Amino acid sequence: MTVKQGSFGRVRVFDDFLAPVVTAPTTSFTKFGNIGAIATAAATIAQTVDDGGGICTITTDGTDDYNCAVYAGVFKPANGGCVMEARFKIASVTTSAIFCGFSETLAVTTPVMPVSATGANVLTCAGSGGVVGMLFDPDCTAPDLWLAVAGDAAVEETVYPATEGITATYWNVVRVEISADKGDGSCYLNGKLIHTFPACVTTTDVEHAILMVSNRTSAASVLAIDYFYAEGGRDWADD
């Protein structure tokens, strides 16, 4: 049987937050502009009007280890690879952790950081599946550095420290790509390739594109997002 294909082989989502976001992230999946959102507890949002280009700011509930994620997907790398990119900043680098990249698993009620740091060890959270992306976590031994991370299941991650640190209230651009043929994961920070992890995810698994902030104290986290983009390939199979 001939596989029937249309004109739109790539599936894409992008939000520049030029239009107001009217629904704040909560404990069930929420439409957040053109993408989705989920939070451990209800968050609040604000639209920045004194900066051009469209910026949406999320403030989490002020409880330790509470998380909030914006996301898109799912994407299957085998269908032509996938890529995500986001530009964002956080108000504090001592009380907030950030993950930006791909995670196979995203909980439907209580989002969990796909990776987190404890001292020198960076671990996947249980049930995260295939993960690749950039992590900043003040609980890490080197808290001022971004880390490129990749791994699978609840095991210690492969870690590649970036030479670039993070500064509160300064913009960061993270781009993560997964190849279609081998599942290689490439992590970019502010236009620079930090590391490519060979065959770090299974290409036939599905992945969520995620930008997640996590409280590392009882202080609320403030995450400002300039844009969020994700792209993958369509599965044209008849079944």
Full set of structural domains in the chain with CATH: 11-233 (2.60.120.200)
Buried residues in 13-31 as b, exposed as e (16+ CB within 10 A): bebbbeeebeebbbeeebe
Q: Specify the pTM.
A: 0.90
**pLDDT tens across 48-81, in order?**
766 667 888 888 887 877 888 888 989 999 999 9
Closest CA to 178 of 157, 208, 212: 208
- Distance CA(40)–CA(52), nearest Å, equals 30
Are 80 and 232 spatial neighbours (Cβ–Cβ below 8 Å)? yes
β-pairing, 30-32 vs 10-15, is: unpaired
**pLDDT tens across 163-221, in order?**
677 888 899 999 999 999 999 999 999 999 999 999 989 999 999 999 999 888 888 88
**pLDDT tens across 110-160, in order?**
788 888 877 776 776 756 788 999 998 888 876 568 888 888 754 555 676
Residues 6+ apart with CB under 8 A from 6: none
Residues 6+ apart with CB under 8 A from 86: 100, 173, 174, 211, 225, 227, 228, 229
Residues 6+ apart with CB under 8 A from 151: 115, 124, 130, 131, 157, 158, 200
Q: Would you say residue 25 has pLDDT above 90? A: no
3-state secondary structure of 94: coil
Indicate if the alpha-carbon torsion angle 158, 149, 157, 233 is positive or negative.
negative
